[in-house]
Structure 1
Amino acid sequence: MQEISSTRQGLITYLLVWLFLGCALGGVISVASGTPLVNALLFAIPMNLVYAFESGYSAYYLCRAYPLGSRRAASITLVLTVAALVSGFLWLLIGSLWNSLCLLPGVSWAGIAFTSQLSLLLVGLGTLLYGFAAALHYLVIEFVRAKGAEQRELESLLMAQEAELRMLRTQIDPHFLFNSLNSISALTSQDPKAARRMTLELASFFRQSLGMEAHKKVTLGEEMVLIRHFLAIEQVRFGERLQVVELMGEGAAECLVPPMIIQPLVENAVKHGICNMPEGGTITISAHRAGSILNIRVANPVDEDMSSLRSEGHGIGLTNVRQRLSGAYKHEAGIQWGRHENSFGVDITMPAQTSEQGE
């Protein structure tokens, strides 16, 4: 009963059903006994509404005490049958008392002729209605239980998904730090001042990234700030060999993306593109919004002899990005990569969410 009456809509629906049954009972009494319809309704409707709560709460607590599957079906049926019969006779008693009040002196316009046929009707109908109430409560209880189990399962899946995303994200920082420290180590003996400058840029990068740790999504503009820090670190080592072009379409910078989702792609572009070309090259980072879709592309030149480059997903970089996109957006996001002539490009598509739209 608590589940039904917990909301105003549920309670109103429950009472309307019993009100309809009361009107139907009044009509039956009026037709069968020739009693005026007003008298029959005055008798049946209040009695039905009282029985709605009496049978409702009784059936509710019995259904809670004898849940389906906890005991043998025969035991549950026996208990509910006895309760239904007792409730039917109790309803007859309530009806008799109510009719007696309606027949008191001065209330001659109310009351009905209480016959043995009416008594049998009330007991039988009360028993059936009690069974109806019990069946309704079993359905509601099982529905609430199934919904609760589904909610718990969904929460468990979300927790597992978030744990996986955190694990994937934590792979990025050590990977990037390892590569950066290797670069610093290489510069230490060749150019100590450049190594020091690179160390300071690395500190600035991680200082900037710490403020993004608590967020599941950041704007593309904030992500690009980190990318610029990273590229500043790499430009200490490569100098003029590393050139960067940013092409941001209208509205793209305000779109939300998972933190550190582009950095591994840019890192790959430097490590497997620019690093292997004596003359260097230009990394192009472009983004544009097409309706509800955000398209991001990272492209870099590659050496002609490196035809098999990234044929297996290129290690942690592309694999990590693909898994994070799948975990965050399911089938709504995707990543593709490939080589065209002397250029290698990675394309990301994802929903174009903004801070105003929310998560």
Structure 2
Amino acid sequence: MLELSSTRRGLVIYLLVWLFLGCALGGVISVASDAPLANAMLFAIPLNLVYAFAAGYSAYYLCRAYPLGGRRPGQIAFVLTFAAVVSGFLWLVIGNLWNGLCLLPGVHWSGIEITPHLSLLIVVLGVLLYGFAAALHYLVIEFVRAKNAEQRELESLLMAQEAELRMLRTQIDPHFLFNSLNSISALTSQDPKAARRMTLELASFFRQSLGMEAHRKVTLGEEMILIRHFLAIEQVRFGERLQVEEVIGEGAAECLVPPMIIQPLVENAVKHGICNMPEGGTVRITARRAGSILHIGVANPVDADMGSIRSEGHGIGLTNVRQRLSGVYKHEAGIHWGRKDNSFGVDITMPAQTSEEGE
């Protein structure tokens, strides 16, 4: 009863069902006892509405006390049958009292004659309606239980997904830090000023990444600030060999992306592209918004005589990005990569969102 009446819609539907049953009972009484239809309705409808709450609350608490699967079937059947029979006789008593009030002097136009056959009909109908109320409550209780179990399972799944995403994000920092520290170590003896500059850029990079850590998503503009710190570190190492080109379309910088989703791709572009080319090259980063879709691309030149690790889908960068996109967006996002002539490109498509409420 509490589940049914917890919403206005549920309560209205419940009362409408009992109102219909009251009208049907009034019609049966009018035909069976030759009582005026108005008198029969005046007797049956209020009686039914009273029984709707009395039987409803009684059946609800019994269904909660004797849940299906929690007690023996015979015990449940006995308790509900006993309660239904008692309720049926109580309903008859209430009916006689109500009919007595309708027959008081001054209101002789109302009321009906309660015959033995009508008394038996009221008791039997009361038992059946009690059984109907009990069955309805069992259905609602099981539905609510299944819904709660599904919600708990979904919450567990989301927690596991968040834990997986956090794990994937934490893989990036040690990976990048290891490479950067090796570069700083190599520069310390060759170019102390460059090593110092790289150390400061590294500190700025991690300061920026720590500020993003608390957010599930950041704007593409914030992500690009992080990437610029990263490229500044790498330009200390590669000098003029590393050139950068950014093309950020209108409206793209405000779109939300998972933190550090592009940085691994840029790192791979430097590590597997620029690093293997004595003359260096240009890393090109593009982003454009097309309606509800955000397109992000990272491209770099590659040595024509060397294969690319990324072309085979290996390496922590592409694997990490693919798993994180799948965890956040499911099938709504995708990543594609490939080599064309002397260039390697990675393209990401994801929903263009400007607020996390819109997810």
| TM-score normalized with structure 1 length | 0.98
Q: Deviation of residue 356 (structure 1)?
A: 7.7
2:279 alignment counterpart:
279
Distance 1:22 1:269 in 2: 77
Distance 2:69 2:357 in 1: 46
Distance 1:275 1:143 in 2: 61
2:355 alignment counterpart:
355
The one-letter amino acid of 1:335's match is: I
The one-letter amino acid of 1:25's match is: L
Q: Deviation of residue 309 (structure 1)?
A: 3.1
The one-letter amino acid of 1:58's match is: S
Q: Deviation of residue 311 (structure 1)?
A: 3.9
1:169 alignment counterpart:
169
Query: What SS does structure 2 have at the residue aligned with 1:253?
Result: coil
2:313 alignment counterpart:
313
The one-letter amino acid of 1:331's match is: H
Distance 1:310 1:329 in 2: 23
Query: What SS does structure 2 have at the residue aligned with 1:205?
Result: helix
Distance 2:357 2:96 in 1: 62
Q: Deviation of residue 16 (structure 1)?
A: 1.2
1:249 alignment counterpart:
249
Q: Deviation of residue 308 (structure 1)?
A: 4.5
Query: What SS does structure 2 have at the residue aligned with 1:67?
Result: coil
Q: Which runs of 5+ in 2 are unaligned?
A: none
1:13 alignment counterpart:
13
1:230 alignment counterpart:
230
1:135 alignment counterpart:
135
Instruction: State the Cα deviation string for residues 268-292 of structure 1 (Å, max 9, x = none).
Output: 1111111111110000001111221
Matches within 5 A, 1:86-105: 86-105=86-105
Query: What SS does structure 2 have at the residue aligned with 1:229?
Result: helix
1:57 alignment counterpart:
57
1:23 alignment counterpart:
23
Query: What SS does structure 2 have at the residue aligned with 1:171?
Result: helix
Query: What SS does structure 2 have at the residue aligned with 1:348?
Result: strand
Query: What SS does structure 2 have at the residue aligned with 1:260?
Result: coil
- Residues 308 and 220 of structure 1, relative CA distance in 2, 3 Å threshold: closer
Q: Deviation of residue 314 (structure 1)?
A: 3.0
Query: What SS does structure 2 have at the residue aligned with 1:31?
Result: helix
Check the 8 A contact 1:255/1:354 in 2, yes or no: yes
1:340 alignment counterpart:
340
The one-letter amino acid of 2:176's match is: F
Q: Deviation of residue 355 (structure 1)?
A: 2.3
Q: Deviation of residue 312 (structure 1)?
A: 3.4
Distance 2:174 2:306 in 1: 27
The one-letter amino acid of 1:291's match is: G
Report sequence identity in percent.
Answer: 86
Instruction: State the Cα deviation string for residues 186-241 of structure 1 (Å, max 9, x = none).
Output: 11111000000110011111111221111101111110011111101111111111
Distance 1:292 1:223 in 2: 19
Q: Deviation of residue 357 (structure 1)?
A: 5.7
Query: What SS does structure 1 have at the residue aligned with 2:306?
Result: coil
- What is the number of equivalent residue pairs in this alignment? 359
Query: What SS does structure 2 have at the residue aligned with 1:152?
Result: helix
Check the 8 A contact 1:254/1:355 in 2, yes or no: no
| TM-score normalized with structure 2 length | 0.98
The one-letter amino acid of 1:230's match is: F
Instruction: State the Cα deviation string for residues 146-175 of structure 1 (Å, max 9, x = none).
Output: 000000000000000000000000111111
The one-letter amino acid of 1:22's match is: G
The one-letter amino acid of 2:13's match is: T
Distance 2:232 2:308 in 1: 29
